Structure 1
Amino acid sequence: MTAAVAGLLFGLSLIAAIGAQNAFVLRQGLRRELVGPVVAVCSTSDAILIAAGVAGLGVLVDHAPDLLATTKILGAAFLLGYAAPALRRVASPRSLHAEREDARPAYGRVLVSAVLLTWLNPHVYLDTVLLLGSVAASHGSDRWWFALGATTGSVLWFSGLGYGARLLGPLFVRPGAWRALDALVAATMTAVAVGLLV
């Protein structure tokens, strides 16, 4: 039980930072579009990566600099491509009502974006696989309890972020609030992309 609680707290500490994935989940939550599938994709991806780290994949990640370099370039390109529409929306903000009236995005496109924002982020391999895997290993035979706690933290975080975003709905009736959010999304995506490249 101690290992599970440690895993829960450590997992939450890694995932709670503002990043591209969190910004995406927040936006989907505010739009109330495909929140369940997006939360499921992000949580399942985290569970797979956590299990891989605990199983020892971190050693491979640590010795695969070419793979990480390629992932950085692909991830940066995707993030910059995702930041561009957010910047366009900053120039012409819309209210929450107007956002809902827009054509709903293709189911596949939203889920592919969620997958790419997770798996093309090199930090997920360094933090979730390598770092979390190393900390889990320090718990010896209880490392899988640690992994269960970290996975639980991921599910709680993404569920809270996705479904809790609707509580901010009244604020996002104003176009200015969407402008601020899109500016934050664009800045986050761009900053992460630049960070990957430099």
Structure 2
Amino acid sequence: MLESYLTGLVVCGGIIVAIGAQNAYVLSQAIRREHHWWSAGLCMASDVILFTLGMFGVSAALMAMPQALALLRWLGVVFLGWLALQALVRAGRGRAALEAGEVTRRSLKGVLFTTLAVTLLNPQVYLDTLLLIPAVGAQQDDAPSFVAGASSASILWFGALAWGGSALAPILSRPMAWRVIDALIGVIMAVIAIQLAVGGL
């Protein structure tokens, strides 16, 4: 049981720590202190649900519908490209320091919608959570413990992003720092979109 749990923790941790669209978005929300715990919590919940579905055989159904993956791929390219463009425009124009109460905050609904879109419109999420991780889990003696370990990795990681980004907000609230952050987020989103468009799945 413990071995399966630790395997899930390490395997999932190694996959989700890599900088991706979800991580970049949650971190940017945390630095803004803009509904960042809600955003991180939605990512955690999505991962837990997808891990569980993957272990219960949804991966087989997904593989049987390649056209669905193709549609998700191009939706992901368009959406991530749009996010990249927005971030790069902000980096080029610059903006005032993001002190609490000095900027117009987006609604909770808007933040949750964007978080959900970043999560569900990226086909790499499905490949990781419904195919790759369950493939490792199928080899474990205790599948529920493996899912628990994988879920724990997601909860710990997104919790760390939300807490760490918020803690660094006072340091990163200067206008120049935000231009750099926006530029990095824009580049990350653009690279992921290009990889999806050119390399496919």
Q: Which bracket does the TM-score occupy, shorter chain normalised?
A: over 0.9
The Cα shift of 1:2 comes to 1.1
Residue 33 of structure 1: SS of its match in structure 2? coil
The Cα shift of 1:168 comes to 1.9
| TM alignment of 1:23-38, pairs within 5 A | 23-38=24-39
Aligned residues of 2:77 and 2:197 also touching (Cα < 8 A): yes
The Cα shift of 1:174 comes to 2.3
Map of 1:195 onto structure 2:
195
Map of 2:167 onto structure 1:
167
* Structure 1 CA distance for aligned equivalents of residues 32 and 98 of structure 2: 9
Task: Return the letter of the residue paired with 1:68.
Answer: L
The Cα shift of 1:109 comes to 1.1
The Cα shift of 1:121 comes to 0.8
Give the aligned length: 197
Residue 97 of structure 1: SS of its match in structure 2? coil
Q: TM-score, normalised by structure 1?
A: 0.94
The Cα shift of 1:43 comes to 0.4
Q: Deviations over 1:166-185 (max 9, x none)?
A: 23224313222111111111
Map of 1:127 onto structure 2:
128
Task: Return the letter of the residue paired with 1:153.
Answer: A
Map of 1:151 onto structure 2:
151
Q: TM-score, normalised by structure 2?
A: 0.93
- Unaligned residue ranges in structure 2 (runs of 5+): none
Q: Percent identity?
A: 39
The Cα shift of 1:190 comes to 0.9
Q: Deviations over 1:90-135 (max 9, x none)?
A: 1122354358512111221110000011111111111111010110
Task: Return the letter of the residue paired with 2:176.
Answer: G
Of 100-109 and 149-158, more deviation after overlay is shown by 100-109
* Structure 1 CA distance for aligned equivalents of residues 119 and 147 of structure 2: 18
Of 101-110 and 167-176, more deviation after overlay is shown by 167-176
Whichever structure has more helix as a proportion of its residues is 1
Task: Return the letter of the residue paired with 1:150.
Answer: A
Q: State whether structure 2 residue 19 is matched by structure 1 residue 18.
A: yes
Aligned residues of 1:72 and 1:197 also touching (Cα < 8 A): yes
Aligned residues of 1:96 and 1:169 also touching (Cα < 8 A): no
Distance 1:126 1:67, change over 3 A: same
Residue 71 of structure 1: SS of its match in structure 2? helix
RMSD over aligned CA atoms reads 1.4
* Structure 2 CA distance for aligned equivalents of residues 172 and 89 of structure 1: 15
Residue 88 of structure 1: SS of its match in structure 2? helix
* Structure 2 CA distance for aligned equivalents of residues 54 and 96 of structure 1: 45
The Cα shift of 1:35 comes to 1.4
* Structure 2 CA distance for aligned equivalents of residues 16 and 175 of structure 1: 27
Q: Deviations over 1:40-98 (max 9, x none)?
A: 11000001110011111111222221000000011111111111221111112235435
* Structure 2 CA distance for aligned equivalents of residues 100 and 6 of structure 1: 44
* Structure 1 CA distance for aligned equivalents of residues 153 and 120 of structure 2: 19
Aligned residues of 1:94 and 1:174 also touching (Cα < 8 A): no
Residue 104 of structure 1: SS of its match in structure 2? coil
